[in-house]
């Protein structure tokens, strides 16, 4: 198992723990991958008061990163659902019509 796969396995095993996400984010930054910054930004913003000046500043940078990398980071889920949302660095919420779900359930 590669480092990347090991990090993801730990994150998926402990989805509510930000520790593994932050370790992975640091590793991504060491690799020169901007997703590490994105994960850090989303975790930091989640701890702030919604709409505060610091939260807005972090959200602005998140949106800049998403404009450049969203298709890559969302992966195949983007084509399978009507909408999705990143939280704490990963796609965590999806939305789609029932008919689309029935056609794509196995892939999702």
| Cβ atoms within 10 Å, residue 44 | 14
User: What ranges in 14-88 are assigned the alpha helix state H?
Assistant: 18-30, 35-46, 53-74, 77-80
Whether the predicted pLDDT of 108 surpasses 80: no
What's the pLDDT tens digit per position in 30-55? 999 999 999 999 999 999 998 999 99
Query: pTM to 2 decimals?
Result: 0.89
Q: CA torsion 87→90→91→93, rounded to 10°?
A: -40
pLDDT at 18: 97
């Amino acid at each position: 198992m590669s480092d990347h796969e090991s990090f993801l396995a730990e994150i998926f095993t402990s989805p509510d723990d930000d520790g593994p996400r932050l370790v992975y984010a640091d590793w991504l930054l060491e690799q020169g991958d901007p997703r590490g910054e994105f994960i850090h930004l989303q975790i930091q913003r989640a701890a702030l008061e919604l709409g505060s000046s610091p939260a807005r500043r972090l959200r602005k940078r998140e949106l800049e990163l998403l404009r450049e990398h969203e298709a890559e980071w969302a992966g195949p889920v983007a084509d399978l659902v009507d909408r999705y949302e990143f939280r704490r660095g990963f796609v965590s919420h999806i939305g789609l019509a029932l008919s689309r779900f029935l056609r794509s359930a196995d892939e999702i």
